[in-house]
Amino acid sequence: MRSSLILDTVTRGAFPLVLVFSLYLLFVGHNAPGGGFVGGLTAGAAFVLLYAGGGIQRVHEVVPMRYENVLGAGLLLAGVTGLGSLVLGEPFLSSAIVKWHPPLLGEIKLVTVLFFDIGVYVIVVGMVIALLTVLGAYGDDPDRMPSMVDRPATTRRDRRGIRRTRQ
């Protein structure tokens, strides 16, 4: 993959900023527009930018885990959050609020929906990384890419019921 100095420079500056903004969207999601899905899509856009600037190798440098593990961790966190309310005798995915009063910080509210949102965030980011991994599997080698000419002929019927073979 040919690297572009301008794209590489922009990516190095914009990637952390977009990730911080995605975390902001994640954490304000229960009080304002945002949440795990929107934050995850924003983080996914940052990873697409990273992919455009350095290819799949650059993405794997930032996230050294396999995408299956990322997806599994997000699904596990979201599922355990929902099951936690069942253990306490509440309906599935019921929300609870824990208030904490640390000195010098004032009141901090911890809402259990946040853990579910974090799980959704991780699932969305894992899915974007999975898509980038599959798209980047062939690299820049055109000989490894599947060709439209090599696909087998298909037969289908036209409007009058006559069989037509198509490449």
Residue 69 per-residue DSSP state: H
Which residue do the tokens 């500056």 mark?
A: 13
Q: Which of 33-42, 130-139, 147-156 has the lowest mean pLDDT?
A: 147-156
Pick 90 or 24 by higher pLDDT: 24
Phi-psi region of 7 (alpha: psi -120 to 50; beta: other; left: phi over 0): alpha
Q: Across-strand partners of 98?
A: 110
Query: Could you read off the pLDDT of 57-115 as tens digits, one per residue?
Result: 889 999 999 999 999 999 999 999 888 888 878 888 888 777 888 888 888 887 888 89
Q: Where are the domains of the chain?
A: 5-138
